């Protein structure tokens, strides 16, 4: 058997595709010859990424989608099927956290608004389930497909302060396990559902939570993370696509229901 991780000609749909992580994944897939569809509420940014992929010789287009609106997802699915006739891969990258749902020195757990908790839960968990309903149905009808959800290290080890985010990501991991079994038992053994669990990757969103603005060194929180990471560094967004390519490929044909850490050993280290 040759291990070439060939994905050429496959059609991949990515939600949250305008974000730092999923845009890197989209570009990585495009380099493997995958036709990439970028779905995001931030449609102009998604369009820019699609144009960049096209300029580099890939094939991509974007569509404005609200992952909390099933009709919006279904409308996008109809357009994708008209253009490409099929979908082979779904990557659920829509998600995130918000300050209002996070504890801090000036915000007690007891004072976190219900609306903020629901916002984080809905975006991460419901925003993963609904695309799986729409595109999973396509996979069920054709008897083949690959779904990859984006979980987090916070699903394995709840992080201080981010109570809603940690719980929501744990829900994504659990849902990934459930859906992997459900799709095999009810529809086809050739439908696979897995997830990746990124560790601490340095992005624009968290940069100054982890890097001190004045010194350029680690913040107190950042130092705790590095001390708990055997590889002694943060990850980079461009280190995610390789794992995605593997999970999407035929070389991973017996990998199902897995939550794959990409964390520099963070989850493996007890601290002693």
> Which residues are annotated as catalytic?
165
Q: What is the largest CA-CA distance in the chain?
A: 58
- Going from the C-alpha of 72 to that of each of 118, 134, 149, the distances in angstroms are 20, 10, 19
Three-class secondary structure of residue 164 per DSSP: helix
Query: How many CB atoms within 10 Å of residue 92?
Result: 29
> With contact defined as beta carbons under 8 Å apart, do 227 and 202 qualify?
no
Spatial distance between the Cα atoms of 64 and 134, rounded to a whole number of angstroms: 16
Spatial distance between the Cα atoms of 120 and 101, rounded to a whole number of angstroms: 7
């Amino acid at each position: 058997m040759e291990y070439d991780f060939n994905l050429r000609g496959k059609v991949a749909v990515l939600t949250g595709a305008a974000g730092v992580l999923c845009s890197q994944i989209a570009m990585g897939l495009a380099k493997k010859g995958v036709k990439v569809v970028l779905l995001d509420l931030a449609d102009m940014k998604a369009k820019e990424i699609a144009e960049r992929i096209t300029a580099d010789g890939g094939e991509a287009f974007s569509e404005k989608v609200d992952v909390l609106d099933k009709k919006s997802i279904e409308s996008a699915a109809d357009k994708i099927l008209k253009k490409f006739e099929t979908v082979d891969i779904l990557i659920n990258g829509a998600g995130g956290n918000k300050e209002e749902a996070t504890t801090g020195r000036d915000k007690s757990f007891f004072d976190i608004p219900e609306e903020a908790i629901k916002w984080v839960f809905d975006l991460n968990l419901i925003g993963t389930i609904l695309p799986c309903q729409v595109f999973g149905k396509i996979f069920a009808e054709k008897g083949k497909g690959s779904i990859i959800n984006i979980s987090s290290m916070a699903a394995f080890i709840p992080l201080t302060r981010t109570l809603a985010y940690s719980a929501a990501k744990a829900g994504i991991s659990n849902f990934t396990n459930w859906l992997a079994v459900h799709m095999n038992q009810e529809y086809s053994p050739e439908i696979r559902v897995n997830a990746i669990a990124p560790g601490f990757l340095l992005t624009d969103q968290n940069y100054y939570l982890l890097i001190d603005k004045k010194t350029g060194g680690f913040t107190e929180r950042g130092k705790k993370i590095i001390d708990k990471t055997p590889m002694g560094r943060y990850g980079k967004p461009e280190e995610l696509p390789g794992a995605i390519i593997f999970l999407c490929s035929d070389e991973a044909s017996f990998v199902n229901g897995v939550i794959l850490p990409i964390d520099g050993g963070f989850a493996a280290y007890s601290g002693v």
